[in-house]
Structure 1
Amino acid sequence: MYIGEYLFWFSSAIKTATRKKLKMGYFSGDMKLSEVAKDYTKESVSNNPRPIGPYYAYNDRYLEIRGGMFENFRGIITWISFAIFFIIASGGYFALKVALKLYNNEWDNYKIGSGIFAMVFFAIIFLVSTYLCIRYFRYICRLELFTLRHIRVRFNRVTRQVYVQRPKYCGGTAVFKWEHIMPANFGETGSDMGGTNLVNVFSFHPYKTGFPVAQSVGVGKNTYDPQDYKDEWEFIRRYMEDGPQNLPKPRLSTHLPMPFHGIEGHMSPMIHLVKNNPSVIIILMLIPVFLILLPFYTVGYFISECLCWQPRWPKVIRQAGKLGKPLPKETTLSDYPPDVQKAILDSSQEWGVIDDETGELIDYGQFKRPKKKASRKRKTKIAKQAEKPIKESSED
Structure 2
Amino acid sequence: MYLIEWNWWKMQTTSANSREESEEMKLPQGRLTGNDWYESDLEDVHFRGVSTKPNPPTPLFKFNNTYMEIRCGGSEEKRGLITIMTLGGICPMIYTINLMAIGFAYLDLTEPHLSSVATILLTLFMIALSSTINYLYIRYGFQITRLEAFTSRHLLIRFNRKNQQVYLHRPKSCGGIVTLPWRTTGSSAVNHRDDHASLGMRQILHWHPALTGLPHCEMAMIGNQGNGGSELRDQWEFIRRYMEEGPDAVPRPRLSTQLPSPIQAFSAQFEGMSRFLRNSSWLFKVILLMVWPAFVILGTAHWVSLMLCWRPRWPKVIREAGLPGKPVPPLTTLADYPPDVQERLLANADRWQLKPGKRPDKKPRSPRARSAKKDASSV
The two structures have a TM-score, normalised by structure 2, of 0.85
Q: CA deviation at 1:247?
A: 1.9
Q: Name the structure 1 match of 2:58.
A: 53
| Alignment partner of 1:77 is 2:79 | no
- Distance in 2 (CA, whole Å) between partners of 1:357 and 1:64 is 35
Q: CA deviation at 1:151?
A: 0.6
Q: CA deviation at 1:354?
A: 3.1
What letter is aligned with 2:56? P
SS in 1 for 2:194: coil
Q: CA deviation at 1:221?
A: 0.5
SS in 2 for 1:49: coil
| Alignment partner of 1:44 is 2:49 | yes
What letter is aligned with 1:92? N
For the 8 Å contact 1:200–1:220, the answer to whether it is kept is: yes
Could you list the runs of 5+ residues in structure 2 that have no partner in the other structure? Answer: 25-30, 361-379
SS in 2 for 1:287: helix
Could you list the runs of 5+ residues in structure 1 that have no partner in the other structure? Answer: 360-396
Q: Name the structure 2 match of 1:296.
A: 297
From 265, 269, 277, the counterpart of 1:266: 269
| Alignment partner of 1:213 is 2:250 | no
SS in 2 for 1:147: coil
- Distance in 2 (CA, whole Å) between partners of 1:7 and 1:257 is 25
Q: Name the structure 2 match of 1:191.
A: 194
Give the total of aligned pairs. Answer: 353
| Alignment partner of 1:86 is 2:92 | yes
What letter is aligned with 1:228? E
What's the % identity of the aligned pairs? 33
After superposition, the C-alpha distances for 1:243-286 in whole angstroms (9 at most, x for unaligned) are 11142111112221122221111134665664454152x34442
- Distance in 1 (CA, whole Å) between partners of 2:69 and 2:358 is 40
From 33, 38, 44, the counterpart of 2:39: 33
| Alignment partner of 1:158 is 2:162 | yes
Q: Name the structure 2 match of 1:146.
A: 150
For the 8 Å contact 1:186–1:193, the answer to whether it is kept is: no
SS in 2 for 1:324: coil
For the 8 Å contact 1:5–1:68, the answer to whether it is kept is: yes
Q: CA deviation at 1:169?
A: 1.2
Q: CA deviation at 1:57?
A: 0.7
After superposition, the C-alpha distances for 1:93-145 in whole angstroms (9 at most, x for unaligned) are 1222343344444x995x96775566445434422221210221122111111
For the 8 Å contact 1:37–1:208, the answer to whether it is kept is: no
Q: Name the structure 1 match of 2:15.
A: 15
Give the 3 Å change call, closer, same or farther, for CA 92–358 of structure 1 in structure 2: closer
The two structures have a TM-score, normalised by structure 1, of 0.81
Q: CA deviation at 1:70?
A: 0.5
Structure 2 matches for 1:273-352, cutoff 5 A? Answer: 274-275=277-278, 277-278=280-281, 280=283, 282-290=284-292, 292-352=293-353
What letter is aligned with 1:286? L
Structure 2 matches for 1:164-175, cutoff 5 A? Answer: 164-175=168-179
Q: Name the structure 1 match of 2:364.
A: none
Give the 3 Å change call, closer, same or farther, for CA 23–353 of structure 1 in structure 2: closer
Give the 3 Å change call, closer, same or farther, for CA 195–175 of structure 1 in structure 2: closer
- Distance in 2 (CA, whole Å) between partners of 1:35 and 1:19 is 25
What letter is aligned with 2:75? F
SS in 2 for 1:152: strand
- Distance in 2 (CA, whole Å) between partners of 1:259 and 1:173 is 27
Q: CA deviation at 1:193?
A: 5.4
What letter is aligned with 1:61? T
| Alignment partner of 1:62 is 2:64 | no
- Distance in 1 (CA, whole Å) between partners of 2:36 and 2:305 is 37
What letter is aligned with 2:326? K
Q: CA deviation at 1:87?
A: 1.1
- Distance in 1 (CA, whole Å) between partners of 2:313 and 2:106 is 46
Q: CA deviation at 1:342?
A: 1.5
What letter is aligned with 1:93? L
- Distance in 1 (CA, whole Å) between partners of 2:281 and 2:232 is 26
For the 8 Å contact 1:60–1:243, the answer to whether it is kept is: yes
For the 8 Å contact 2:157–2:169, the answer to whether it is kept is: yes
Q: CA RMSD in A?
A: 2.6
Q: CA deviation at 1:85?
A: 1.7
What letter is aligned with 1:86? P
What letter is aligned with 2:352? W
SS in 1 for 2:348: helix
Q: Name the structure 2 match of 1:123.
A: 127
- Distance in 1 (CA, whole Å) between partners of 2:56 and 2:221 is 15
SS in 1 for 2:51: coil
| Alignment partner of 1:6 is 2:6 | yes
What letter is aligned with 1:336? Y
Q: CA deviation at 1:11?
A: 1.1
Q: Name the structure 2 match of 1:381.
A: none
SS in 2 for 1:218: strand
User: Which has the larger displacement, 146-155 or 134-143?
Assistant: 134-143
- Distance in 1 (CA, whole Å) between partners of 2:357 and 2:267 is 43
For the 8 Å contact 1:95–1:118, the answer to whether it is kept is: no
For the 8 Å contact 1:2–1:68, the answer to whether it is kept is: yes
